[in-house]
Structure formats: structure tokens, C-alpha cells
Structure 1
Amino acid sequence: MDDLSAVRERLAVPGPSAKTVAQGRGRLLELIAEERAPRARAARWTTFGLGLAGAAAAALVITSSAAPEPVAPPTARQILLAAATSVARQPAEGAWWGNKLVRGARFHDPTGRYVLQTATAEETWIQAGEMTRPHWIVQRYLGAEPATPQDEQAWRAAGSPTSWAYRTVNPGDLAGNPFDVEAAPGAAESHESADVEWRLLFTGKTLTRMDELPADPAKLRALLETEPGDVRNLLYNLQSLIVYVPVPSEVRATAYRLMASLPGVVAQGPATDQLGRTGPAVLYQDPTERRHDKPVQTRLIMDGTTGEPLSVETLTPDTGELISFVAIEQSVWTDSKPDLPNPQPLNEGD
């Protein structure tokens, strides 16, 4: 039995206990013996038959409706190890790797009366092998809308605006240049990035070949860790490796196993992402962002069958409300060059 099957088995609702089954069976056998008694007892059976039949029915009900014994939900370690086992079986070969994402964020409108949600579709196409080769990014703004039904009511009460002007702060509550948010979607844009340098976040280390990343847990940890014991930054680097990098399946599986070994990772149970997909989820702290002087939470949702990541969400530290998300629509390996719409050079610093 693999780890994923073990998790499913632990989540299954158990039947009645052996003791309950034995008691029910014994009571039914007694009733059958009564029914087969000599004819001299026929009158007695006729008189009390209904009562005995009722008792038999009660025995059946007791046997079938006994409360199941409580079963502990799977831990974060069990969820991540199951995902590692499954993702290690996924194919990861081809001349190109494509990652199709939907990025979104939630923030208040300029008046603070309701919350908006924006979304952008993004495709990244990377050539396998040398990471210094050009890669392509295709982006399309999908628009903005009220985040929840309650926000939609407040939006309608405000006159149902289709654009919002921000003049002092940006949606992340950081000082910035004035900008507008539009409700209408935009056209797709494709950019070629020829000046490529892949760096492992927080480490200052540069990668040249993704297929040379080690599948050995100790070696991968040494590569991704900024300093011994720095768990939060290590978690963030593991998350990036799992979601955004074209690595062999065994390396991605090792990243899951490393994450399973770290403190501060907790199971949340099934969660539904912004694309409506449900899978097991784990929570940990994000070292890159803070709200009210507290680190925000990251929720990683995985496919319960393949182990592939479904979504990475940023949540408020106290209430667990959604701040931003990256939903992975599809990650594909192919030998065919992607059909890119009018690629334009992406200048350094853009």
C-alpha cells in the first residue's frame, strides 16, 4: 500500500465495531431459534410475534447505525509524503516546460467599502536543459470584480463602477505610483526574456541547469537553505521549487519530503482553490510579507491523486482571509515549440 492509499484509508468512514456486530448477530440467532420452536409454542409466537419482529428490526438498526469510532485526520507529514509518492510517478520529459497559472489578489476599493479581486492568466515557457536560454512569458489581464456576494452588494450600492483610481497607495498597502484598476479584461501579451539568471531566493545562489538539482534530501536542503535552522526561508524556497521550476519528478518529490520534515507545517484538511478544485492542504508562515506586524500564512493545496500542486494562497495571519493566490491550471512537458502571440523582448528591469 502506498502513502496516498494509506491517507485515503484513514479518511474512510469505518463500519460498526466487531463487538456491535457480534451482539446483533447473537440477538438475531436467538430470534431465529424462537421461530423454529415446537408447534406447542405456536400460540405464544402468535401473541408476541409482533414484539419479537420489532426486536429483530431493532437489532438490525443497532448493528447498522452504530456511531463510527473517531479517526484522526491525516497530519501534514502524511499529506506531503503521500503527495511525494504520487508526484514521483508523473512524467517530466520534453524539450519545453510550460506552466499555466492564474494569479489573483484581493484588496479594498479606494473608498474602503468593499473588496475587489483581480486575476491575470500567465504562461511561462522554458526550454529544458541550460537555464541561460531565453524563455517566454504570456500574460493576459482577466479583469476585476467584487470578491464575494457581500462585496457585490456594496459595489452595486456604490453605483457599480467599472474602474477604480488609486492615487496614494497600491493594493498591497505599500506607497507607490498612482494607477487605475479596470474591470474589463485585456489582450494577451507575450515577452521573450533573453537575459536570464535564475537565483534561489534568499540564498544568492545561481542555477544554470535545473536537471542537476539533487534528489538527495540532505543535498537539496543544503542548496536551498540560507543558513542552518532558517526554516521559514527554506519553506519558501521549497514552495518555489514545487510550483514554478521545471525539475525532474523525483526532485519535486524530494522537495515535498523535505517540507514534510520541517516544523511549523500543519495540515488543514481539504480546501477548495479559486478555480473550484479541492485537495488536501497544508499551512505555514510566509517570510516575505507581514500584516499588522505578523507574518502572513501560506496555504499549499495539492491534487489528492497526482500530488501536483493546485494552488498557493496567501492568507491573513489572524482570520485566514485570502490576500492573494497563484492557481496552477496546468504544468506540461512537450517537444513542440509553443505558439506565442507576437513575442516582444522583455527588457531587463521590466
Structure 2
Amino acid sequence: MRSTLTLTVAAGLIFAGAGAAPASADAPKGAYWRVETVFTRTHPHAVGSGYHLTERSVSVDWLSPEGKSWGGYRELGARPATEKDEAAWRADGSPTAWAYRTEGMKIRLSTEPGKGFVGTDKKRPDGFRLGEKYVTFQQLQSLPTDVEALRKYLVADVNAWIDKSAEEAKTTAPKATKNDWLVNLDRYVAGMATELLYVNPAPDKVRAAAYQVLKTTKGVSDLGRAKDPLGRPGQKLALPVPSNKDSVLKQQLLVDTEAMTLLAEYTDLKDGGKAVLGKSGVKTFEAGWTNDKPAVPDAR
């Protein structure tokens, strides 16, 4: 049975975090913070007589208040991507499985969901990943609830990561400069603010402040109200387009402005004006507390 998520929403949450008072820690509302991600994309290689398939997969992460983690994954099956692809598929006899080799690897696709798995990553340290570091549940609860204080915190964290990355790059890319990262500073900050909306069980007021940081970050565009592929309404935002000479990456987000959680992420990656299949697509998210134990994700 699919896990039931619960998420408490405080009245007037959209305006929370306007004061300078420190965050009030939210007590865990379940045994695990659970994040489910369903990714829908077009398979990068044509199959059969030359048609493309849409693939779906689901991944689930569980985090206990002590920072213990579990992960689950399942392929959900493939199907023709468009009406034209479906016509070609039917002309091929409506196969339910495909296989081909690329770069020495055997790729197998099926219309049926995979068996999936669930387990722990023994290399992952205990804790909640925040940017490039891991923090405790208590540290997560003490994040700033004031919008500008949280922005300052995130900018400092991103700058520390940029300093480290620029220093490490000297050995492999001597011509690289710190500005290669700084040119995308606003995008990195927006990305960190977005993660606070779903990745970890941040307090309600922190998520509200994170949303305000996100929507007011330079280069972020408000696209108005919209619905995700599951029919859930939210506010749609476009992230700044990163500076890259070789490709263009456009990403849009849909945020539930009542629960202050991320509902969907739309990715459009083009190289030389052509869509990069397999990396472009849409992800839908469900995040919240649950008492259900980690298990192989359901097929749906």
C-alpha cells in the first residue's frame, strides 16, 4: 500500500518568517521524513523501427530524526512517447520489451515495472545534507526564519563551496577562475532555497522564508499559477538560466504555497538548440512525515 504522508500547515504560513526571531523547532510528526520523486523522461535512443519511448521511474528517500537514511527505487515501465511513436510501435507489432547495445552496455527496456529495491547507503554519513555539509536535526531546526537572514546564510554557504571548488579546480583546470562559479551565484542560491522546500524536514517557518528567498532571488521569474502532471495547483517559477557556452538549461518549479513544499520540477536541456533526451523531463515530488517503514516503492 502506498505510504500516507502527513504535513502540518500553520495558518498564515505564506507570511511566516517576516520577523527576526529565531526559528521554533518543529517536533517530528512521524518516524521518517519521506520524499518521493517520480521522473518522466523520453528515452535518449530510438528503438524498433525508429520510435521513441517515455520512461517513468520512482525513487523514495527516508530520513529518521537521528539522520539515518534509506533509499528505494523502481522502474515504472516504458511506452511510446507520442502518437506518431505509438503508430510506429503498433506497426512493429506492439512489442513489450526492447534491448540494444550502446558504448559496450546492454540496455533493456520493458512496458512492465521493474522489481525495484530498498536499502541503505553505507557510505553516506548520518545527518541531513544541507548544501555541501551534513547537519543534525537540531541544527536544521535552528535555521533562520527571517528572509534576509536566511538569504545571507545561503549566500555564505554557496560562497564557501565556490571557494573550495575553485581551489580544487586548479589542479585539473588551471585556466579556471572563481568567476566561472560566481557568474551563476544566484542560480546556486535559488537551488539551495529550493532544497529547503522538500529535501529535509525544515521547520514550517524556515520553508516559508526559503520560498521568499527563492522567488526574490535575482533572475528568478514568476510564471503565475499552474498545475503539475498530478493536477496539484501551485505557483510556477523559472530559475535563472546558467551561463554555459555549450548548452542551455532551463528549469521551472511548481511550489505549493500553502504547505511550502516543492510539487514539480521541469527541466529543458538543449545542446546546439536540440533537446538532450534522457535529461530533459519532469519530476513530481511528495514530501512529508510518515510512520510507514521503508519499503520497495509501489508500481503505479
Q: Say yes or no: does 1:324 pair with 2:281.
A: yes
The verdict on how the C-alpha distance between 1:342 and 1:121 changes in structure 2, with shifts beyond 3 A counting, is: closer
Amino acid of the structure 2 residue aligned with 1:205 = K
Give the whole-Å Cα distance in 2 for the aligned partners of 1:238 and 1:315. 20
**How much has 1:84 moved relative to structure 2?**
4.3
Matches within 5 A, 1:266-305: 266-285=221-240, 293-303=246-256, 305=258
Give the whole-Å Cα distance in 2 for the aligned partners of 1:270 and 1:147. 27
Give the whole-Å Cα distance in 2 for the aligned partners of 1:188 and 1:85. 41
SS of the residue 1:156 aligns to: helix
Aligned residues: 244
Give the whole-Å Cα distance in 2 for the aligned partners of 1:242 and 1:117. 28
In 2, are the aligned partners of 1:97 and 1:126 still within 8 Å (CA)? yes
Which residue number corresponds to residue 294 of structure 2?
A: 340
Matches within 5 A, 1:85-234: 85=15, 93-94=28-29, 95-111=31-47, 113-128=50-65, 130-131=66-67, 134-168=68-102, 177-197=105-125, 199-201=129-131, 204-209=132-137, 210-215=140-145, 216-217=149-150, 218-225=152-159, 226-227=161-162, 230-234=185-189
When normalised by structure 1's length, the TM-score is 0.58
Amino acid of the structure 2 residue aligned with 1:189 = F
The verdict on how the C-alpha distance between 1:277 and 1:181 changes in structure 2, with shifts beyond 3 A counting, is: same
Unaligned runs of 5+ in 1: 1-81, 170-175, 344-350
SS of the residue 1:238 aligns to: helix
**How much has 1:194 moved relative to structure 2?**
4.2
User: Which of structures 1 and 2 has the bigger CA Rg?
Assistant: 1
Higher percent of residues as helix: 1
Residues 121-162 of structure 1: per-residue CA shift (max 9 Å, x gap): 22221111x43xx21122222111122333322322333232
**How much has 1:325 moved relative to structure 2?**
2.3
Unaligned runs of 5+ in 2: 1-11, 19-25, 163-181
When normalised by structure 2's length, the TM-score is 0.67
Residues 2-21 of structure 1: per-residue CA shift (max 9 Å, x gap): xxxxxxxxxxxxxxxxxxxx
Give the whole-Å Cα distance in 2 for the aligned partners of 1:150 and 1:269. 32
Residues 161-201 of structure 1: per-residue CA shift (max 9 Å, x gap): 322334226xxxxxx73322222112242112344235545
Higher relative contact order (CA 8 A, sep 6+): 2
Give the whole-Å Cα distance in 2 for the aligned partners of 1:109 and 1:235. 32
Which residue number corresponds to residue 53 of structure 1?
A: none
In 2, are the aligned partners of 1:233 and 1:287 still within 8 Å (CA)? no
SS of the residue 1:104 aligns to: strand
Query: Cα RMSD (Å) of the superposition?
Result: 3.6
Give the whole-Å Cα distance in 2 for the aligned partners of 1:221 and 1:84. 22
The verdict on how the C-alpha distance between 1:181 and 1:83 changes in structure 2, with shifts beyond 3 A counting, is: farther
The verdict on how the C-alpha distance between 1:93 and 1:287 changes in structure 2, with shifts beyond 3 A counting, is: farther
